[in-house]
Amino acid sequence: TKLVYMFDEGKRDMKETLGGKGANLAEMTRIGLPVPFGFTISTQACNTYYDSNRKITGELKEQVLSSLKQLEETTGKKLGDPGHPLLVSVRSGAVFSMPGMMDTVLNLGMNDDTVEAMAKLTNNARFAYDSYRRFIQMFSDVVLEVDVYFFEQHLEEVRERKGYTSDPEMTAEDWKEVITGYKNIVKKHTKRTFPEDPKEQLFLAIQSVFDSWNNQRAIIYRRLNKIPGHLGTAVNIQSMVFGNMGDDSGTGVAFTRDPSTGESILYGEYLINAQGEDVVAGIRTPQPIQTLQNDMPDVFQQFIDTCKRLESHYGDMQDIEFTVERGNLFILQTRNGKRTAQAAIRMAVEMEREGIISKTEALLRVDPDQLNQLLHQRIDDSYEFTRLVKGLPASPGAATGHVVFDSDDAEALSQEGKKVILVRPETTPDDIHGIVSAEAIVTSRGGMTSHAAVVARGMGKACICGCDGLKIDLKNKQFRVGDTVVNYLDRITIDGGTGEIMLGDIPMIAPELSEEFQTLLQWADEKRTLGVRTNADTPEDAKKALEFGAGGIGLCRTEHMFMDATRIPIVRDMILAENLDERMAALEKLLPMQQGDFTEIFEAMNGHPVTVRLLDPPLHEFLPDKEELIVDVTKLQITNPSSHELKEKEQLLKKVRQLDEFNPMLGHRGCRLGMVYPEIYMMQAKAIFYAAADLLNKGLVMEPEVMIPLVGHVNELKAMRQVVEEAADQIEQETGKKINYTVGTMIEIPRAALTADEIATEADFFSFGTNDLTQTTFGFSRDDAESKFLQHYIEQNTLPENPFMVLDQEGVGKLVETGVKLGRETKPSLKTGICGEHGGEKSSIEFCFEKGLDYVSCSPYRVPLARLAAAQATI
């Protein structure tokens, strides 16, 4: 089998074989861009390596050697040749980009002989020995696993001894001294001499790239980004070009559009006289790309042209790495650039307008999950607050949290439920767990393309970089800005859109949608056939959802109206009632309140449909906690045994004990309440119809959809439907208004889904309550499973996802499908929707579309996501 491909043998659609980087290097070679030549070892070779107990097979070895020969012939240089030495980089390149997660070795091929050749050829001994020591350091770190700390310490020592303050003062002789020291370090820590044979170096480096596919941070990154572990990484071996050959050389990274805002301007940075890793590592703060025009006008023009060409060739924003070696431009990498949600939307809409992509492609360019970022709060400028310091606005969004200085702390505290802001001099791929856990990231060094910035943008987290006004003292866990000291766990607020850091908590305001966002969602609405409604039970939520484009309310839960502080006493009277008369008296007081609630919500929805669900939770939820009551009663028995308060609490406790159930979620709730206390549902139904009649008087038509929860048997629905009809008849007679309404049911018990044909005889619509349906199908308590064992299940891959977040299509989904099918056998026009949390999750939305549901209903802030996901489902 062919395991190795020269760059001129591949093309862009060979990602699976060549990895993303390899495929793009091949494509750029194919279209004639200046790419240093090389070859790619395929992902299959990586998998074979693992299948052969982490051994490089003879077959692979042979192919690598023959490709190397071709590379040597093309470049006219030879690996290890003391006359014309070839130096190469060895880099990973997975199918899906995993920036910085795997290993890279540069300058491979250097040894005591080739370094001299380099010195002669470049006429620059200082450069040659500096490169050699960099190579020893990198190779030892990555391949031989000797901690860089030892090398840094040694370098520091030499520098100090010579009385220098910075590296550029070091001479070739000084570097030679450092190299001798480096080799001793290697010998001490690995019990062997540094490998000088370039071919041995090459195979060791290849092996270490393969191994890095399974290092800790790569595994975490794959888990976060749902990249399968069996794909393997390719390895790219490319002849080196040098950005550190003097002031006519340099290296940089650029995006063809601003990855933070999406604006169509070249966005990037570079360093003169530096190697690629210097930019990404964020150690020196680079120059903005625009000044390259002054430094190297010809190269700048050539680079601009190349960027335009690459962007239109790939039809997407590109993230490009380049190096200039003695005035010659080389492109080392291109890939579709990571971007914030805001940028993704703006680019998609503008590229459609520029004719680069179609509307359909534009819709696919934005990941619905990313939209969350945009619907988040930002700092309220109308308040006065002092800005402490300003850095680079690397990723937009605002956040408040406790300051932490390392990633382990960030992780530990966030697991305790604390919101933290990770403050670091710079981040490396080893900080990935800290970045994941933090609300936001701040670094004192590094530019807009530094590790922290790239990763944060990808995750949609606020980030400020290169904030050099911030003096971090890691040892004492504090940072200082002028005279202000901020300690570990102090609270700060950051604004990633402006780069500003403030002390303490700053008020935030709700987001609004940009013009491009609105446009994209309009395109989504033109494309989608699935309705999008919202779950809302206050007029504020209803208005918010309408603003976000909801077509109606799919679930108005009425229990929150019962929880209102002013109503709880009346609700308690209703529960404590000893007989029907007492209960009726309490219900009579609740009726006008409920009516008011519905009037406000119906008005807010301005003619859009509203599904109101009758009372669902077990009644004990409206009473105080049992344990607390026992404590209160015991105290009162001692301190005030004859008080009225004690009597009241004792009575309450008695009722709480009566209502106590072993499994309240499987207990006396949902329609089972209506069955035993039809007067409660009757009151609610009347309130709904009074409100609708009231609206009719004002000239607004509202046709309420009354929904009965937790039905398992058709007879339950039949009985509850009669209650609703009776209420409707009464109100019609009383008000003289004819109100059109429908009665439907939630499907959230497996039996209801399995007998949906019978249930449909009594239902005008079905709404799948997939929260309860997941609970009852798996038999997982929705209140306990996640904290007790579900996490374990997911980590062990027993379940691919948390089924309370992502619909379990094979199990719960089968019941949904069955319910729809059986229901429509009875009533072809039966309206069906989903209103569990899954109604706002993209893969579940796609499933609902495929199974022919009419709508999904989700929380207001998820409505935009649902509109886009529903459009993508049709593509």
Give which of Mg ion, ligand PEP, none residue 557 binds (C-beta under 5 to 8 Å, depending on kind): ligand PEP
The answer to whether 553 and 601 have CB atoms below 8 angstroms apart is yes
* Residue closer to ligand PEP, measured from CB, 337 or 836: 836
Q: Which does 836 bind (CB under 5 to 8 A by kind): ligand PEP, Mg ion, none?
A: ligand PEP
619 binds, among Mg ion, ligand PEP, none (CB under 5 to 8 A by kind): none
Neighbour-count burial of 683, counting CB atoms closer than 10 A to its CB (0-12 exposed, 13-18 middle, 19+ buried): buried
CB of 858 to ligand PEP, least distance (A): 10
Give how many residues touch Mg ion by CB under 5 A: 3
227 binds, among Mg ion, ligand PEP, none (CB under 5 to 8 A by kind): none
Closest listed residue to residue 453, CA positions, set 258, 665, 248, 691? 258
- Cβ proximity to Mg ion: between 40 and 558 the closer is 558
769 binds Mg ion (CB under 5 A): yes
Helix (H) or strand (E) holding 273: none
Taking the CA atoms of residue 583, residue 589, residue 592 and residue 593 in that order, the dihedral angle to the nearest 10 degrees is -100
Window 716-775: residues binding ligand PEP (CB under 6 A): 748, 769-772
Q: For the segment 825-854, give every residue that binds ligand PEP (CB under 6 A).
A: 835-836
Q: Which does 770 bind (CB under 5 to 8 A by kind): Mg ion, ligand PEP, none?
A: ligand PEP
- CA nearest 869: which of 403, 368, 429? 368
Nearer of residues 772 and 841 to ligand PEP, judged by Cβ: 772
Nearer residue to ligand PEP within complex by CB, 108 or 816: 816
**For residues 743 and 752, which CB has a smaller minimum distance to ligand PEP in the complex?**
752
Q: For residue 794, what are its two tokens?
A: 């997911």
C-beta separation of 76 from 275 below 8 A: no
Q: Is 44 exposed, middle or buried (0-12, 13-18, 19+ CB in 10 A)?
A: middle
Residue indicated by tokens 């001894």 = 161
Contact region with Mg ion (CB under 5 A), list: 91-99, 210-218, 346-354, 764-772: 764-772
Stretch of residues binding Mg ion (CB under 5 A), selected from 43-51, 175-183, 492-500, 744-752: 744-752
Closest distance to ligand PEP from the beta carbon of 838 (Å): 8
Q: Could you tell me the CA-to-CA distances from 281 to 252, 425, 426, 447, 820 in Å, in that order?
A: 12, 11, 8, 9, 54
Interacting span for Mg ion (CB under 5 A) from 40-48, 84-92, 549-557, 763-771: 763-771
Token pair for residue 233?
Answer: 């990484």
Catalytic (active site) residue 451: yes
The letter for the amino acid at 783 is D
Q: Which is nearer to Mg ion, 769 or 864 (CB)?
A: 769
Set 671, 835, 848, 858: catalytic member: 835
393 binds, among ligand PEP, Mg ion, none (CB under 5 to 8 A by kind): none
Residues 545-584 that bind ligand PEP (CB under 6 A): 555, 557
859 counts as binding ligand PEP under rule CB under 6 A: no
Tokens at 145, concatenated:
């696993």
The residue to which tokens 């402490």 are assigned: 388
Interaction pattern, residues 300-339, with ligand PEP; x per rule: CB under 6 A: ----------------------------------------
The answer for residues whose C-beta is within 8 angstroms of residue 34's C-beta and 6 or more apart is 328, 329, 330, 331
Alpha-carbon distance of 736 to 729, in angstroms, equals: 10
Give the nearest distance from C-beta 609 to ligand PEP in angstroms.
17
| Minimum distance from residue 802 beta carbon to ligand PEP (Å) | 15
From the list ligand PEP, Mg ion, none, pick the one residue 524 interacts with, judged by a Cβ distance below 5 to 8 Å according to partner type: none
Q: For residue 579, give every residue at least 6 positions away whose Cβ sits within 8 Å of its Cβ, in sequence order, or none.
A: none
Partner residues linked to 508 by β-bridges: 379
> At 585, which amino acid appears?
A
Q: Which residues pair with 742 in a beta bridge?
A: 705
Among 716, 772, 846, 854, which residue interacts with Mg ion (rule: CB under 5 A)? 772
For residues 80 and 823, which CB has a smaller minimum distance to ligand PEP in the complex?
823
Instruction: Choose which of 103, 616, 716, 764 interacts with ligand PEP (CB under 6 A).
Output: 616
Nearer to ligand PEP, 332 or 816 (CB): 816
| Only segment of 30-38, 164-172, 700-708, 741-749 that touches Mg ion (CB under 5 A) | 741-749
Q: For residue 510, how many C-alpha atoms fall within 13 Å in the half-sphere facing its CB? A: 8
Q: Rule CB under 6 A: is residue 109 a binding residue for ligand PEP?
A: no
For 482, counting Cβ atoms within 10 Å of its Cβ (0-12 exposed, 13-18 middle, 19+ buried), the class is: exposed
> Could you tell me if 508 and 514 are in contact, meaning their C-beta atoms sit under 8 angstroms apart?
no
Whole-number minimum distance, CB 460 to ligand PEP, in Å? Answer: 27
Q: Is 68 exposed, middle or buried (0-12, 13-18, 19+ CB in 10 A)?
A: buried
CB of 821 to ligand PEP, least distance (A): 20
Catalytic position from the list 154, 451, 620, 838: 451
In sequence order, what DSSP letters do the residues of 303-363 get, joined into one string?
HHHHHHHHHHHHTS-EEEEEEEETTEEEEEEEEEPP--HHHHHHHHHHHHHTTSS-HHHHH
Quote the Cα angle for 428-431-437, to 5°: 145
Stretch that binds Mg ion, among 161-169, 325-333, 621-629, 748-756 (CB under 5 A): 748-756
Which of 40/774 has CB closer to Mg ion?
A: 774
Closest CB to ligand PEP among 207 and 809?
809
Determine the size of the site formed for ligand PEP (CB under 6 A): 10
Please give the residue ranges that form the binding site for ligand PEP (CB under 6 A). 555, 557, 616, 748, 769-772, 835-836
Residues found near Mg ion in the complex (CB under 5 A): 748, 769, 772
Give the residue numbers annotated as catalytic, written as ranges.
451, 835
